[in-house]
Structure 1
Amino acid sequence: MILQIVVWLSSILCSAQVFSRPVTCQLQRSRVEKSRGLLHTMGGHFPAECCLGDVVAIAAPTAAFRSNGTKRNAGVERAVYHTLTSIDFLFGNDTVPVSWDGRTVEDFQNIVYRQIDESKCVSSRPDFKDRRRLLGLYFDRLASVLQEKEFSACAWEVVRRELLQTLKFILNNTLGHLFWARRRRNFH
């Protein structure tokens, strides 16, 4: 009987702690870092068999991640959130190269989806029209590369390389504008 009461009280205390925690809506730097790391390791080096015609340079939409000078910039948060949702969309068609590590691809997709799911309220924050246009053009171009090259391994490597650069830029340049980890870690 005493054991049952102790278990019951413990469950009430645990529930109280869970429900009393404030719900925060913010992007988690550690998940963006983990996503970039998985994206980096899933494919390896740019394949030598990809001809020069497969190498496409697409300008990253760095202006979409510029701060307006405020401590908490909703536009920067929305740009990062939109980037993650666009990455999720690109990877949603299950046409990634078979040469990529399937488990790493799956882990990458899960972390990106989890970050999106847990920070949905970021999508309702203001200051985003021009940023959305810049990001839309960028991700439309990446999707076009995949479609034009029929989702070939080389096309996916171009997309992966571009996304690595974009995530690197986000991690190295948005630190002061988002409420994620305060320590700076440069990604090369």
Structure 2
Amino acid sequence: MNVFGLIPIGLILLCTTTISSLQCNHLPLQQRKMIENSLQLLDKMGKKFPQQCLREKMSFRFPEQVLKPRQKEAFKVAIEEIFQHIFYIFSKNLTLAAWDGTAIEQFQNGLYQQIEQLEACVTKKQTHYFHSKEVNRLKLKKYFQKIDCFLKDKQHNLCSWEISRAEMRRCLQLIDKVVRKLNN
């Protein structure tokens, strides 16, 4: 007997696999909703972009080609990696950002949920496919390292966080645009 009573283990595994695959089939719709929520939370975190930060604005140049893979599965892996980088950036020293703490926490939790969902849907084969495209991975890493270095160079001051928040908004909007195209 198992912890579920008289239900055979095989049936439990079959149901778990079916539920998991159903979640993965609806992933694009879930992603769109979560991205919309993340964008709203980014807006809610802070106020309007401070005028004094305009002169510090920086171009990070998101590598858009990583969002144009030939396979949907490779796209999921790319998004998962992007969300992991964003989560890492927004897990740093946010004290000088002067943002709404609840919105930050909700944003971080939402990113974590998206990462978890994508990880559950991405197989090792798909992960291998994206890892074989090392150029794309390196471009993403370089892009997020620029943002991280920018924050460090500016000692995580208010303007550096506001510029980074605006960049993450742009990044999420690009992902949302591609997810919408994939759904059509």
Per-residue CA shift, 1:34-68, capped at 9, x if unaligned? 1122112211221123261x211111111110132
User: Structure 1 residues 138, 38: closer, same or farther in 2, change over 3 A?
Assistant: same
How far apart, CA to CA, are the structure 1 residues paired with 2:17 and 2:91? 35
Displacement of 1:97: 3.5
Hey, what does 1:9 align to over in structure 2? none
Q: TM-score, normalised by structure 1?
A: 0.75
Query: Paired residue for 2:174?
Result: 169
Q: Which amino acid in 1 is paired with 2:141? A: G
| Aligned residues between the structures | 164
CA-CA distance at 1:20 after TM superposition: 7.3
The runs of 5 or more residues in structure 1 that have no matched partner are 1-11, 184-188
2 CA distance for matches of 1:97 and 1:21?
Answer: 46
Deviations 1:89-120 (A, max 9, x none): 11112425452111101100001011112221
Give aligned-pair identity as a percent.
Answer: 25
Q: Distance in 1 between matches of 2:123 and 2:95?
A: 27
Alignment of 1:31-180 (within 5 A): 31-50=34-53, 52=55, 54-68=56-70, 72-121=71-120, 122=122, 124=124, 125=126, 126-127=129-130, 128-177=133-182
Q: TM-score, normalised by structure 2?
A: 0.77
Letter in 2 for 1:167: L
Relative to 1, partners in 2 of residues 1:129 and 1:20: Cα closer, same or farther, differing over 3 Å? Answer: closer
SS in 1 for 2:51: coil
Q: Indicate how the Cα distance of structure 1 residues 134 and 107 shifts in structure 2: closer, same or farther if over 3 A, else same.
A: same
The code of the aligned residue for 2:67 comes to F
User: Larger % of helix: which?
Assistant: 2
5+ residue gaps, structure 2: 1-6
**Alpha-carbon distance change, 120 to 36 in structure 1, aligned in 2, over 3 angstroms:** same
Q: Distance in 2 between matches of 1:84 and 1:123?
A: 17
Counterpart of 2:3? none
CA contact (8 A) 1:66 1:76 kept: yes
